[in-house]
Every structure is written in structure tokens, then in C-alpha cells.
Structure 1
Amino acid sequence: MKEKLHTIPVNEAFDKVSECPVCNMRKELEEKAIDFTMGPSYMEDDVRGETSRLGFCKSHMELLYKNQNRLGLALILKSHMDRVIKDVEKQSASSTKIAAPSLFKKQGSSLGVVSYMEKLNSSCYICEMINRTFERYIATVFYLYRHEEEFRQKFKACQGFCNDHYALLYKVAPKHLSGSQLKSFTDDLNLLYIENMKRVRDDLEWFINKFDYRYANEPWKNSKDALPRAITKTNSII
């Protein structure tokens, strides 16, 4: 199989034994984004400008803190807080007096502050880094499915997908495939999802049974790690 720009990480994700290869791809991107952000790059003006403007979501802030580069994170947050203070001072200075809302009139322009904070609280430098490459990875999945028989067989042999990424692949498939290839892909996708959800569900059921004294002497089968695998299937956590 001829490896192109993004085919290597996509193939590697599908080569791993996992309840969702797409989760593997996203997790790898997340780890690289955290390492990049907390590496020497945080001293670069263009990176600092973006982290100051966008900030970070809660989950990625927790991962940044766990990175142990406390000085680097402190410098990043200092610049971010400087930017937020400056922006809010500017927004609040230009706001008009807050008027009580009515049925027929929207609240005054002071809502510019609220709009700014809502936009800030929904932005994340790490998320944006991940999403830019993740979209290309998803496009590569369809490129490989369309052109490479070896990958089609690899796709069919995987252990299915989490709820989120099953829906994503189903949603974007018509943008990349058509006709018989689209039908073949959605048939494969549906079969993989349903059969593997049932497999993990059954493992989880046996895991539950093992807490019943009547099953104390029965083998665990494949259920010992059923709970974390079920969490991957339902919530995309690996």
C-alpha cells in the first residue's frame, strides 16, 4: 500500500486492537498538541498570540496542568489573562447602560461583554489544533476505503466504533463516496457498529454476573476489562 501524507497514522490506528480506531487517531493528535503547546513553542510569538486569544477548554486545561511544565503554563495563562482583561475593559467601556429586558426589546449593547465571554468559553487552542488535522484524517479514511482493497479489509476487521465516531462516519460518508461504494461502506459500518456494541454489551453483562455469588466459580471470559471498553463505546474515552 502506497503511504501518502495522512495514510500512515490512519493505518496505524486501524492496526491497533481498539474499540474505536477513530478515538485512537484523535487521542494521538491530542497528545501531540499538548506536547507541542507545552514545549519550546510556547515562547514563540505566533503561538502565544493564539493561546492568549483562544484559551483552553476545561479538559485540555487539566491535561496541560498534568504536563508538569508549570512555569510554561503560568506564562501562557498570564498572557491569556492580560488579553482577556484588556478585551473586557474595552467591551465594558463601550457598553451602554443595561436596560431591563422586555417582551419587545432586546437588552442593551452591554451584551457585547456576554457575547465575548461566551465565545471565549467555547474556544480552545488545543481543540482547534486537533480539529484541523482530524478532519483530514477522516477524509483519509474514505480515501483509503475508496482506493485500497487492503484498507477495506482492515476496516472490516476492526472492532467497531464509539457512538460519536460511528455517527460522524455515517454523516460524512456521502461527501466522500457515492453509488455502490457508499452503500458498501454504510453496510460495513452498520454491521461493525452493531455487532461490536453487542459484543461489548455481552462482556459487560458477564462482568456484572461475576459479582453474583452464583457465578463466583465461573471464568471471567473476556469481561475483566469490559467496563473501560464500554466507556469507550459510549463516551469516546480511551
Structure 2
Amino acid sequence: MKTAHREAPPRYVIAEIRHLLAKSGCPLCHAEAEALERFLFWFFHESYGEPEIVLQYVRSRGFCAEHLKLVAERGPQWQVSAMFSWIIEDLLTALRTSLAAVAEKRPLRFRSWRKGATRVVEPTAGCLFCDVIERTQESLIPMLLEALEYDETLRARFVEVGGCCVPHALLVARSARGEQQRGLLLVLEVLQKQLESTKHDLDEFFRKADYRYAHEPRGAEQHAWRRALVQFGYKSDRESPTQRQTSQEQGAHCPPRKRG
């Protein structure tokens, strides 16, 4: 039985993965960062007041902790004020309903009653920025695997930049299909080598901490803990306080778009 011929990926797939592999580090982390930057620009300058967008972040009761930090540090004053006035208005309405139900009686089955009485204040949508990340992952992971399956130059570059971080490598592993075995194998092999290197340096760090070897020169092992954090998905703040202040001042006097 003949094996079905599989075509090379489209040029745009190769171009996108080549772009993400231009810098060292996890290509999916780069993709997410770029997607967030694009979304942030249009969100704060245009779409934050669009009814369907407002509805999502109102129903989600704001943003997850990670992306609330992003809003706080990057959001212009006027836009953030408008957004939270709508979020708070809706939550207060829900709280009045919930408080009335809670004060109404003393139920015998408190747990089931409490769940019903407080359901109205619970989020009914997900974080807007988490959705951007999820859509980026759904789009880029198949492209990455497809490119690594066929393009030897990109395979070599993937090894050179250090592959994917642990969270993304595990996500790739969960997402891979049968015909993407070669690409998946490379992702996991590079991850193994990166982790083995970090583990070696961590062991070396502890060895040199022993008084018997304390006289030995310090080397790369002193920074192994930082590499471990990055490998497990840590991202440092990339924007300086000055840049954040400039970002907040831009659009500070832009009137909010009408809701609804």
C-alpha cells in the first residue's frame, strides 16, 4: 500500500515560522507577545468601546490577574476609566439582585441555596486577552508543526534558538496530530536537551555551594535558576516605566465610544 504524498506547507506558513524563529527563545512566546501587542493597540484606541467587546469584559467581571496587570500598566487613563465604569455598573446591578436573595430567608440547605443566590454575580465569559492568546495558539501550533515536519532549515534554526518553553512544548504535544510526528519529535527532543543542560548547571550550582568546592570559579551555573524560570514560561516586563507613562498619556483625553 502506497503512502499518501504530503505536500509542503504553504509559503505563508514557512514565512511566519521563519519570522518567529528570527529571535532566540520560544517561538510561541514570541507569537503570543506579538498578538497581544497588536490587539492592545486596536483595543485601547478603537475596540474597547465596541458593544460586543464591552459585553465580554463586563460579563467576565474584568480580566484575569495576569492581564489586569497589563491593562493597568499599558491602558490609557480615559479608556481604563470608561471600561471599569461599565464593569462596576453591571456588577453592582448583579450584587443588588444577589443581596436581595441572600437577605430573603435562612435556608436549610445553605450550600445549594447560596449557589443559586450568588450565581448572578459569577463571571459568564472568559478574559478577553486570554482569548487572544488561545486563538494565537490554535493558529500557530499547527503551523509550527507543519514547518518543522518539512523544512530542514527551520528545523535547524528551531534547535539553535532553544525550542519551545515547557508550557508551550506540552501544549504542542497535546495538539499534535499523527501526521505531525516528526515535528513533535523535534520539539520534545530539543526540550529534553534544554532541560538536561539546565539540570546539569543547577547541580553544578549546588556542588559549588559546598565549602569543599567553594574556591572554584563561578560560571554559567550561577544563572541556571533564571534559565529555569524562562524555560517554564516566565516573562519579564518588557516595557520601561517611561514607556508605560507615555502609553497611558496617549489617548488620555479621547472620549469613550458610546456603549450599545
Give TM-score scaled by structure 2 length: 0.70
Percent identical among aligned pairs is 20
RMSD of equivalent CA atoms: 3.2
5+ residue gaps, structure 2? 1-8, 236-260
Counterparts of residues 100-115 of structure 1 (less than 5 Å) = 100-101=108-109, 107-108=112-113, 111-115=115-119
TM superposition shift of 1:64: 0.9
Task: Provide the aligned length of Structure 1 versus Structure 2.
Answer: 224
Cα distance in 2 between the residues matched to 1:205 and 1:100 = 58
> Taking structure 1 as reference, are residues 21 and 204 closer, same or farther at Cα in structure 2, changes over 3 Å only?
farther
For 2:135 and 2:117, locate their aligned partners in 1 and report how far apart those are by CA, in whole Å: 28
For 2:83, the aligned partner's letter is I
Structure 1 match to 2:38: 32
Equivalence for 2:76: 69
Q: Is contact 1:29–1:134 with CA below 8 Å preserved after alignment?
A: no
User: Is 1:129 paired with 2:125?
Assistant: no
Task: Determine the C-alpha separation between the residues in 2 that align with 1:11 and 1:113.
Answer: 53
List gaps (5 residues or longer) in structure 1.
Answer: none
Q: Deviations over 1:1-29 (max 9, x none)?
A: 9642x6545333223212x3322222333
Equivalent residue for 1:82, pick from 89, 95, 115: 89
> Match for residue 138 of structure 1?
141
What's the CA shift for 1:56? 0.5
| Alpha-carbon distance in 2 for matches of 1:204, 1:169 | 26
Shift of 1:197: 0.4
What is the TM-score normalised by the length of structure 1? 0.75
**2:225 alignment partner in structure 1:** 227
Q: What is the rounded CA distance, in whole Å, between the counterparts of 1:98 and 1:146 in structure 2?
A: 63
| C-alpha separation in 2, matches of 1:25 and 1:45 | 27
Which deviations, in whole Å up to 9, do the C-alpha atoms of 1:29-77 show, x marking residues without a partner? 3333334333343244443333223321111111211115222211111
Q: Which amino acid aligns with 2:123?
A: K
- Tell me the distance in 2 between the aligned counterparts of 1:209 and 1:38: 50
Which of 12, 19, 22 matches 1:15?
Answer: 22
More contact order relative to length (CA 8 Å, sep ≥ 6): 2
Q: Secondary structure at the match of 1:100?
A: coil
